[in-house]
Amino acid sequence: MVGALGRNLTSKAVLTPTIIAMTVCFYGCMAWTIYVSFTRSGMLPNYDLVGLAQYDRLWGDNRWHVSFANMFIFGVLFITGALALGTLLAVLIDTKVRMEGAFRTIFLYPLSMSFIVTGLAWRWFLDPTDGLQSFVRSLGWETFEFDWLVDRDMAIYTIVIAAIWQGSGLIMAIMLAGLRSIDRDVWKATKMDGIPTWRAYVSVILPQLQPLVITCVVLLAITVVKSFDLVVALTNGGPGFASDLPAKFVVDAAFERANIGQASAAAVMMLMAVIAALAPYFYLVRRRS
Amino acid sequence: MTVAVDQVAVTSAPKPRGFQITPGRIGLYAFLIISALFFLIPLLIVFNTSLKPMDEIRAGDIFDLPIDPSFAAWAEAWTSACTGRNCEGIRVGFWNSVKILVPSVIFSILIAAINGYALAQWRFKGSELILGALMLGAFIPYQVILYPMVRILSTVGLYGSLPGIIVVHIIFGLPVLTLIFRNFYSGIPIELIKAARIDGAGFFRIFFSIMLPMSTNILIVALILQVTGIWNDYLLGLIFAGRENLPMTVQLNNIVGSVTGERTFNVDMAATMLTALPPLIVYFLSGRYFVRGITAGAVKG
């Protein structure tokens, strides 16, 4: 018989590389970035602390303001849009439709593709000279205009549309699983009380799925903060930097403009955004348990 | 349960009718079909355009069906699509992606499975702490880590190389995969392990002869998650793979972004289809496992 210490030693030994990788690559790198955001770093890292100077400069940068504001516009519209469409599709599919499998497959397939593919497909579809606009015009509606892709004020909304297209299927799948797990007796009770189906969904069934909704919101919120590929493929942040997002701002700052200080400060702001999105979730989880 | 739903509809509004064709039902199908079109159209247009020659694309509209559908543009995209002046086709990116994918998937799943097994069945003081640290690590945005990671990999001579990008994929896959396996192995009764231990089986013996044969389902889930995730990755490939090993997604974006000479939409779209195809095939083959794979880490974690 091996002693308790010996048994644990194998387990510990097996986990050691992972622990080292986690400590160095996740937490070590995170600490490095946070530290560097308070230094004089420019093209190369420099370890002289200068307080909040990088953040002062960051918040004085118009491009950062646009990126950060875009994250909220994109976040609010994408999360509400995907949640509403995904839940609606789940509810409709749940009402015993024909060809349920086909609908489910169609709603979910975009999720399997790269954001680069999604971005390019939507870029061509929304292109004013080759895509939807020219098609509608060729049908005879000569004044039809849909040029959001090249419109400074509207470009960010094309990213919202493409992201909803890619993400709604996931919400549908999660919510449908939730709907299918609702107890038969709940439906019987609403039936006995003579509550109409739609009313039963709104007042009884969906409130029961609240934990799932919160999970969906967290998943979508993390997608928002991490969104990079989609912007690169769809608008490349343009026109100008009108549809830029923080994830792209950081990568450009670090690897194109070679400004490590600014990249680090912006990355720390992204981290704060993730914490802000997660805090209510962990608070709820803790309170429930 | 869906039957119950329908009965509710019938009992709440009883009408003398033989068929179930109500305005509500028609509206429901209309909405589902419009939604299905919304989801299908962008990819169908890409596919449609990839089958047309260029003069047909210039003359017509995106919804016009090809007069004489041909995969010529697909062949051109595969063998001679250009990134700047380099015209070797998207096959270069395809094979790079395969070279990145295979080792990344095998090693990340193997390591995560053993880690998850250790955390679930061989607990020790601090193993819960490791679990928590892993879980939080999954939420850190890549952007916070990218630059210092580049410096670390340069120091050890792996930056911009095939082993480098593979190591990066393994590390970034660890948190979610380990959680998935840990949750799965937590569900296996500890008595099983105890019995095996009394028979003299050790850590690895139990893992390979008892745990692994029971793990088919969770291995499929992990496989789907990693294959689609790594194939679809853009950011990590862009930063860490180096010029010689750029994955298909990065090459695709470069091909479409190249503005040398005339725009060949059909070739661009064929290249897009070729890049989209491998994960689409995985999706259609895996069915319900796919949803489990995509949601497993996030929902359960």
* H/E segment holding residue B112: helix B91-121
Give B235's contacts in chain A (Cβ within 8 Å).
228-229, 251
- In terms of Cβ atoms closer than 10 Å to its own Cβ (0-12, 13-18, 19+), residue A190 is buried
Size of interface A-B (CB pairs under 8 A): 269
| Per-residue pLDDT, B261 | 65
Confidence of residue A211 (pLDDT cuts 50, 70, 90): confident
Q: Which pair of structure tokens corresponds to residue A1?
A: 């018989």
Mean pLDDT of chain A: 87
What is the distance between the alpha carbons of residues B159 and B111, in angstroms, rounded to a whole number?
22
**Cβ–Cβ below 8 Å for B252 and A120:** yes
Mean pLDDT of A28-39: 93
Maximum Cα–Cα distance across chain A: 85
Partner residue facing B9 (CB), from A28, A197, A219: A197
- Nearest Cβ partner for A124 among B45, B133, B137: B45
A267, HSE (Cβ side, Cα atoms, 13 Å): 30
Structure tokens at B13: 């509004």
Q: Which residues of A touch B4 (CB under 8 A)?
A: 184, 187-188, 191
Contact flag B252-A116 (C-beta cutoff 8 Å)? yes
Interface probe with A: pick from B144, B208, B283, most Cβ of A within 10 Å = B144
Alpha carbon distance, N-terminus to C-terminus of chain A = 38
For residue B300, the model assigns a pLDDT of 35
Contacts of B111 in chain A (CB under 8 A): 17-18
A133 and A145 in contact (C-beta within 8 Å)?
yes
Residue with tokens 């839940």: A87
Contacts of A2 in chain B (CB under 8 A): 197, 202
Tell me which of A265 and B197 has the higher pLDDT: A265
Shortest distance between the Cα of A155 and any Cα of chain B, in A, equals 18
Q: Name the residue among B108, B106, B234, B288 with its Cα closest to residue B180.
A: B108
For residue A188, give the nearest of B4, B269, B282 by CB distance: B4
- Map chain A to HEC letters: CCCHHHHHHHHHHHHHHHHHHHHHHHHHHHHHHHHHCCECCCCCCCCCECCCHHHHHHHCCHHHHHHHHHHHHHHHHHHHHHHHHHHHHHHHHHCCCCCHHHHHHHHHHHHHCCHHHHHHHHHHHHCCCCCHHHHHHHCCCCCCCCCHHHCCCCHHHHHHHHHHHHHHHHHHHHHHHHHHCCCHHHHHHHHHCCCCHHHHHHHHHHHHCHHHHHHHHHHHHHHHHHCCHHHHHHCCCCCCCCCCCHHHHHHHHHHCCCCHHHHHHHHHHHHHHHHHHHHHHHHHHHHHC
Closest CA to B9 of A201, A90, A197, A97: A197
Using CB atoms, which residue from B6, B43, B144 is nearest to A96?
B6
Q: Which residues contact A186 (CB under 8 A, 6 or more apart)?
A: A204, A205, A208
Residue of A nearest to B4 (CA): A187
Distance from CA of B26 to the nearest CA of A (A): 11
The reported pLDDT for the residue numbered B17 is 43
Where is B16: in which H helix or E strand?
Answer: none
- Evaluate whether the domain defined by B91-300 bears CATH number 1.10.3720.10: yes
**Chain B residue closest in CA terms to A201:** B5
Mean pLDDT (10-residue bins), chain B, 301 residues: 32 42 84 93 91 83 83 87 83 94 96 92 84 86 93 93 95 90 87 84 87 89 90 93 92 83 83 94 85 59 30
Distance from CA of B151 to the nearest CA of A (A): 10
Q: How confident is the model at residue A134 (pLDDT cuts 50, 70, 90)?
A: confident
CB burial string B41-72: b at 16+ within 10 A, e below = bbbebbbbbbbbeeeebeebbbeeebeeeeeb
Q: Is A187's CB within 8 Å of B4's CB?
A: yes
Cβ <8 Å between A134 and B61 = yes
From the candidates B21, B22, B38, B39, which should be mutated to test the interface with A, based on the most A CB atoms within 10 A?
B39
Which residues does B283 contact at the CB level (< 8 Å), separation at least 6? A108, A109, A111, A112, B228, B290
Nearest-angstrom CA–CA distance, A22 and B195: 33
Q: Please give the pLDDT value at position A107.
A: 93
Two tokens, residue B25: 């039902």
CA distance A153 to chain B (A): 23
- CB contacts, 8 Å: B293 with chain A: none
* CATH architecture for residues A62-288: Orthogonal Bundle (1.10)
Highest mean pLDDT among A133-147, A193-207, A275-289, B162-176: B162-176
**pLDDT score at A289:** 67
Confirm if B90 and B78 have CB atoms less than 8 A apart: yes
**pLDDT at res. B271:** 93
| Alpha-carbon distance B32 to nearest alpha carbon in chain A (angstroms) | 7
Q: Verify whether the Cβ–Cβ distance A7 to B203 is below 8 Å.
A: yes
Domain ranges of chain B: 22-70, 91-300
Q: What is the pLDDT of residue B4?
A: 33
Give yes or no for residue A184 having a pLDDT over 90.
no
Q: Is the predicted pLDDT of residue A15 greater than 80, yes or no?
A: yes
Considering only residues 169 to 188 of chain B, which have any Cβ-Cβ distance to chain A shorter than 8 Å?
171, 174-175, 178
pLDDT over 90 (residue A74): yes
Q: Which residues in chain A have their CB less than 8 angstroms from residue B148's CB?
A: 28-29, 32-33
**Which of B157, B61, B175 is CA-nearest to residue B108?**
B175
**CA atoms in the 13 A half-sphere facing the CB of B75:** 5
Measured distance CA(B63)–CA(B193) in Å, rounded: 61
Contacts with A165 from chain B: Cβ below 8 Å: 38-39, 42
User: Which chain A residues touch B8 with a CB distance below 8 Å?
Assistant: 187, 190-191, 196-197, 200
As given in the structure block, the two tokens for residue B228 are 């689609």
Can you tell me the distance from the alpha carbon of A103 to that of A161, in angstroms, rounded to the nearest whole number? 20
Check A2 against B45: CB less than 8 A apart. Answer: no
CB-based contact A39:B150 (threshold 8 Å): no
pLDDT tens digit string along A41-58? 888 888 888 888 889 888
From chain B residues 84-143, the ones with a CB under 8 A of any chain A CB are: 111, 114-115, 118-119, 122-124, 127, 130, 133-134, 137, 139-143
Listed residue (B170, B171, B172, B182) closest to B132, CA to CA: B182
> Quick one: tokens of A103?
């609908």
3 state SS for B147-185: HHHHHHHHHCCCCCCHHHHHHHHHHHHHHHHHHHHHHHH
What pLDDT is stored for residue B87 in this prediction?
82
Q: Cα separations (Å) of B288 from A56, B237, B294?
A: 49, 29, 10
- Find the DSSP H helices in B187-299: 190-198, 203-206, 212-214, 216-232, 235-240, 248-257, 265-286, 288-295
Residue A7: pLDDT band (50, 70, 90) is low
